[in-house]
Structure 1
Amino acid sequence: MAKPTVPRGLGPRTPLRIAAPRLLEARLGDVRKYEQALLRGLPAEPIHDMRVASRRLRAALDVFGLRNLEPGVKELQDALGAVRDLQLQVAWFARRSRALAARRRDLLPSAAAAFRRTLDVWRSRTAQGIVEATLELAARGRFGGPRMRRIVRKRLGMVARRMRAVEQNPDALTAHRLRIAVKKLRYCAELAGPALPKQSKKLLGQLVPLQEMLGDLHDMDVRIALLGVMRASGLRRSERARRARLAQQLLRELLRWQKKNLVHHLRREWD
């Protein structure tokens, strides 16, 4: 996963009226740098990296009070996701069944065409709207002040609630909700990194392995549902068995968080 651009010269006492526009500009630039590559083709790595960058941009828009601009970015993210998911499915099926891989590959041209339409809207309208809103942004307070800390604590609280739900029932939907909460917290912690580097590094050190495990579990859940639709019963049974083992690993990781009281200790870092 490509790392986000970190603007220079920002610190805990930087006024938000300066820090917020610079961070938004950086997050927007991280999305836009893949445009030219994706105008020429649909290579897997730029598709993936632009998708991640769009999530980080949405997180920044949310944190800095520009939620009204999120839907346009989500449209781009979803169009990227449709292409990327098919690319991953084709690669997975190709190692197991040429016929099933071909069925997924046949869907790529339609997803690619939809992405190109969305990319046109993004380049002509959405990105420019973010630029204009950034120029008019008038955020108050300090970058490392109470506001940013409060947002991280709130998102950490959401992760804790989602963890408890998964401990009770690690089904696909419940695990997916935890995955989304972890992602939102991660991108917020990355955003706060220049102001609160010690706290951010400590939090990310715990979140990243958990997010990767949840991502693997989500991929399996998507495949299990897809294999059911495609009537691939043998592959589905195998994937369900793998999913059960990974779910147990996840529960052990959540038990580690619980035993070490990590949510409480990490929350105190952001007081």
Structure 2
Amino acid sequence: MTITDETPLWVAAPALLAARTDDFFGRWRRALKTLDSEDIHDLRVSSRRLREGCVLFSPLYPDGLARVIRRVRKVTRLLGPLRNADEAVFFFRELSVALPEPCRESLGVLMGRQEALRNVEHRRLAKGLESLGAGKTNSAFVRAMARPAVFPQPPVAVDPFTPIGSFAAAALDGSLADLLPLVPSARDEEAAAAQHALRIAVKHYRYRVEILSFLMAAEGYGDIHATIKAYQDCLGTMHDLDVFVDMVRHGGLPPEVECVILNAIAERRGKSFARFGELLGGHPFELIGEEVRRAL
């Protein structure tokens, strides 16, 4: 099916959601089969994209796709602890190579704890994905998404005959408007909570841009996506480092070793924050919004 910017929303939305759903369940089955770290990561990202798609098009459905969103969220949350443990093991292993010998033993202790947690989460994940039932869930999703309100009653908040191009422009402007007020607070290097909130908003904006990217010129979209991803990667790195700091502080390490490790993490966070500042100076979010409007 070919979707253009003039395709009515009630036709385009189910087709776009079906594509995201197929990707999600394909990755679900693969992750359940392999329990490979990258397959788990890919499933987690796919679940977030599908959930964002459901939220994006929810005004078209009388129930707002609430049941679908709740079920997808269950999968996302089920995947989180294992992915977090994988990230911690990878980071502490890499850090141990860069730090002197007294730190390596303590980092080995932290890695051991995370590896033990990872083994527990592997078993929990396999059991959880199996119990949720991909086949049954897939059928329920297909039924829910195939029934947009063509002749809407008052609860439906959007005209189903709106061209998808017009809907996309308004939706992306709205998502950017939610993001922009979070930027000033995030400019403070010590404002970890503000940076975390911005990271989440950037993630939602990125997924919406990806879902609607078929409406954009290929060259323009490539540059837009690369910039948004750079923001998300930078903010994500800072958030991960904040999580690792908490692990170190609660790890019961010798004070002198803890200090060296925390200083090393702080140095890396400082570099990420500097990169964040460069992005804000060279390619602010307002400019990204202008580029998106031109590309549509």
How does the TM-score come out when normalised to structure 2?
0.80
Residue in structure 1 matching 2:243, options 215, 222, 228: 222
Structure 1: runs of 5 or more not aligned: 1-7
Residue 144 and residue 35 in structure 1: after superposition, are their counterparts in 2 closer, same or farther (change >3 A)? closer
In the alignment, structure 1 residue 46 sits paired with structure 2 residue 67: no
CA deviations on 1:86-125 (whole Å, 9 max, x unpaired) are 1121222234232221111111232223322431215255
- The match for 1:244 is 270
**Aligned residue identity for 1:138:** A
Alignment of 1:18-57 (within 5 A): 18-57=11-50
- Aligned-pair distance for 1:156? 0.9
In structure 2, distance between residues paired with 1:29 and 1:230: 42
In the alignment, structure 1 residue 58 sits paired with structure 2 residue 51: yes
In structure 1, distance between residues paired with 2:214 and 2:236: 26
In the alignment, structure 1 residue 156 sits paired with structure 2 residue 182: no
Give the aligned CA root-mean-square deviation in angstroms: 2.4
In the alignment, structure 1 residue 16 sits paired with structure 2 residue 9: yes
- Aligned-pair distance for 1:38? 2.5
**Aligned residue identity for 2:209:** A
- The match for 1:175 is 195
- The match for 1:85 is 84
Residue 81 and residue 143 in structure 1: after superposition, are their counterparts in 2 closer, same or farther (change >3 A)? farther
Give the match's secondary structure for 1:137.
Answer: coil
- Aligned-pair distance for 1:192? 1.2
Residue in structure 2 matching 1:121, options 132, 153, 164: 132
- Aligned-pair distance for 1:202? 5.0
Contact 2:179 2:198 in 1 (8 A): yes
In structure 1, distance between residues paired with 2:203 and 2:133: 23
CA deviations on 1:166-225 (whole Å, 9 max, x unpaired) are 124552211111111111111111111123346644532431211111121121111111
In the alignment, structure 1 residue 212 sits paired with structure 2 residue 237: no
Structure 2: runs of 5 or more not aligned: 59-63, 97-106, 151-159
More deviation in 157-166 or 184-193?
157-166
Percent identity, please: 24
Contact 1:192 1:200 in 2 (8 A): no
Contact 1:55 1:77 in 2 (8 A): yes
In structure 2, distance between residues paired with 1:221 and 1:86: 14
**Aligned residue identity for 1:72:** R
In structure 1, distance between residues paired with 2:28 and 2:49: 16
Structure exhibiting the larger radius of gyration computed from Cα positions: 2
- Aligned-pair distance for 1:55? 0.7
Contact 1:13 1:144 in 2 (8 A): yes
**Aligned residue identity for 1:147:** F
In structure 2, distance between residues paired with 1:57 and 1:187: 9
**Aligned residue identity for 1:209:** A
Contact 1:170 1:247 in 2 (8 A): no
In structure 2, distance between residues paired with 1:174 and 1:47: 28
Contact 2:31 2:43 in 1 (8 A): no
Contact 2:186 2:195 in 1 (8 A): yes
Give the match's secondary structure for 2:215.
Answer: coil
CA deviations on 1:104-161 (whole Å, 9 max, x unpaired) are 1111232223322431215255433211101212361345333221110011112211
**Aligned residue identity for 1:174:** A
How does the TM-score come out when normalised to structure 1?
0.86
Q: What is the aligned length?
A: 263
- The match for 1:135 is 146
Alignment of 1:244-263 (within 5 A): 244-258=270-284, 262=287
In structure 2, distance between residues paired with 1:163 and 1:261: 11
In structure 2, distance between residues paired with 1:82 and 1:122: 20
In structure 1, distance between residues paired with 2:47 and 2:22: 10
In structure 1, distance between residues paired with 2:110 and 2:174: 43
In structure 1, distance between residues paired with 2:183 and 2:82: 30
**Aligned residue identity for 1:128:** S
In structure 2, distance between residues paired with 1:109 and 1:206: 36
Residue 135 and residue 265 in structure 1: after superposition, are their counterparts in 2 closer, same or farther (change >3 A)? closer
- The match for 1:3 is none
